Amino acid sequence: MSKIVILDEKTANQIAAGEVIERPASVVKEMVENAIDAGATQITVEIRKGGISYIGVTDNGNGIEKDDLEFAFERHATSKIRRIEDLDGLSTMGFRGEALASIASVSQLEVTSKTEDATTGTTLKIEGGRVIAVNQAGSPTGTSFIIRNLFYNTPARYKFLKKDTTEAGYISDIIERLALANPGISFKFIQNNQTQIHTPGNNDLLSVIYSIFGKDISKSVLPVRFENEGFILEGFIGKPEIARGNRNNQSVFLNGRYIKSKVITKALEDAYKTMLMQNKFPFCVLLLKCSPEGYDVNVHPQKLEVRFANESSVYSTIYHGVKNTLLEEPEIRSFEPGRNEAEVELSAPVIAPPRIFDVNKNNLPIVGNPKQTTLFDHMAENIIPLNNNQELKTYVTMEPKDDEKPDYLMERKTEENITFEESGISEESEAFEEIRRSTENSSIQELLSSS
């Protein structure tokens, strides 16, 4: 009996879903990217319980033809490419034709879509990859997806999901990145009936940054614009004061697609090298554009990583674009490489306060207890200096603050009658008390002179 068999379609789809659909955020990403490819200018995402029980994605894009709607959920069914050569000039977000089939195989899915020239829309219901209903429906132009009970039929995948709040956080991250990459589209994200994100869709990236990160961040960014060797770099970078201890606030997009690139990260951080403390990472939203022939996006299941044909040009574009912007900002200062914040702060010049009392070296030898010299020298070092133009009146007085616990106050007065007081610590108080007793009714040489 043969040991090798061909898997049935349902099993194959669920296995494929494990690669494409890891969590609710993966569903949202695929659905929203489809909406972007459909030319939508308004996209609304609504979730409940972290997207595990409910995900709704509605757009005003081109819609799906009635004859194509059911066919769209077949594996490797796509409108984006026709042959392998099309990948060389890919301009859409999706292209593999795996997402819809994978999502439908592990959820209870309902989709309603209508094209502009259609009189009515069409609603399709699928459970676990099986079509259970196709009906006509009234709807505006565009597409609306509802996904319920994700992974309800794959408990092995379901048990690895995290708390609702954590899963919702992943979805929020996806929406933020897609909104930053597409400032001309209005995004609305609703979580448990509360709007979390709403961008204007006015094609102004700074407005999107304000909507997502708030006023403080949006007021501390610098615009970037640089062209080099076929690459166009645009976006915003943060001033050093809004740098963070992680890279969470770094968003890089290639032709509208969020990517992670070691080359770009290295170039960005090298450009900031003399302007940030160690273990600080800059804020950035960078939109890199180039010909699709200049990179390969088909190297990662989530399309997060790309392979550039000319990495040195990418590095040069990012580095010089960011560095030039920073150097043009007069308020930004540089630090020496390898110095940490504490070292920089300590490098500021320290101005020693002028001594208020000086021992006259020409005086006769001092008569009295040697502790007296030590005590007054210590006091002189700690007295707050007056303005250099002010004159001291020449006297220092000390009086006990409390009869039971002697603690002396030292005061001096200027000609303007400004009084400075310093409370001595108990050790000094005891020393002074000893000096006072030992010198009572004795005549001693004056130790101090006014400066």
Q: Does residue 10 surpass a pLDDT of 60?
A: yes
Domains of the chain (ranges plus CATH)? 9-210 (3.30.565.10), 220-340 (3.30.230.10), 357-450 (no CATH)
Q: Which residues pair with 42 in a beta bridge?
A: 186
**pLDDT bracket for residue 258 (50, 70, 90):** very high
The amino acid at residue 141 is T
CB atoms inside a 10 Å sphere around CB 6: 7
**pLDDT bracket for residue 444 (50, 70, 90):** low
**pLDDT bracket for residue 368 (50, 70, 90):** very low
Q: Does residue 437 surpass a pLDDT of 50?
A: yes
Q: Give the containing element (helix H, strand E) for 113.
A: strand 108-114
Taking a C-beta distance cutoff of 8 angstroms, is the pair 379, 354 a contact? no
**pLDDT bracket for residue 80 (50, 70, 90):** very low
Taking a C-beta distance cutoff of 8 angstroms, is the pair 78, 97 a contact? yes
Q: Does residue 148 surpass a pLDDT of 90?
A: yes
Read off the pLDDT of residues 371-391 as tens digits, 9 standing for 90 and up: 444 444 544 444 444 444 444
Mean local confidence (pLDDT), 198-217: 97
Q: Does residue 115 surpass a pLDDT of 60?
A: yes
Half-sphere exposure of 32 (CA within 13 A, CB side): 31
Q: Among 55-64, 84-93, 107-116, 225-234, which stretch is predicted with the lowest mean pLDDT?
A: 84-93
Place of tokens 């399709």: 124
For the record, the structure tokens of 71 come out as 């066919």
* Strand, helix or coil for residue 125: strand
Taking a C-beta distance cutoff of 8 angstroms, is the pair 217, 209 a contact? yes
Distance of CA 61 to the CA centre of its chain: 31
| Percent of the chain whose predicted confidence (pLDDT) is above 70 | 63
CB atoms inside a 10 Å sphere around CB 385: 13
Q: Does residue 398 surpass a pLDDT of 70?
A: no
Q: Does residue 409 surpass a pLDDT of 80?
A: no
Rounded to the nearest 10°, the torsion over CA 200, 203, 204, 210 is 30
pTM of the predicted model over 0.85: no
Taking a C-beta distance cutoff of 8 angstroms, is the pair 386, 392 a contact? yes
Give 161-172 as a DSSP string. Answer: ---HHHHHHHHH
Q: CB within 8 A of 198, min separation 6: which ones?
A: 186, 187, 188, 189, 211
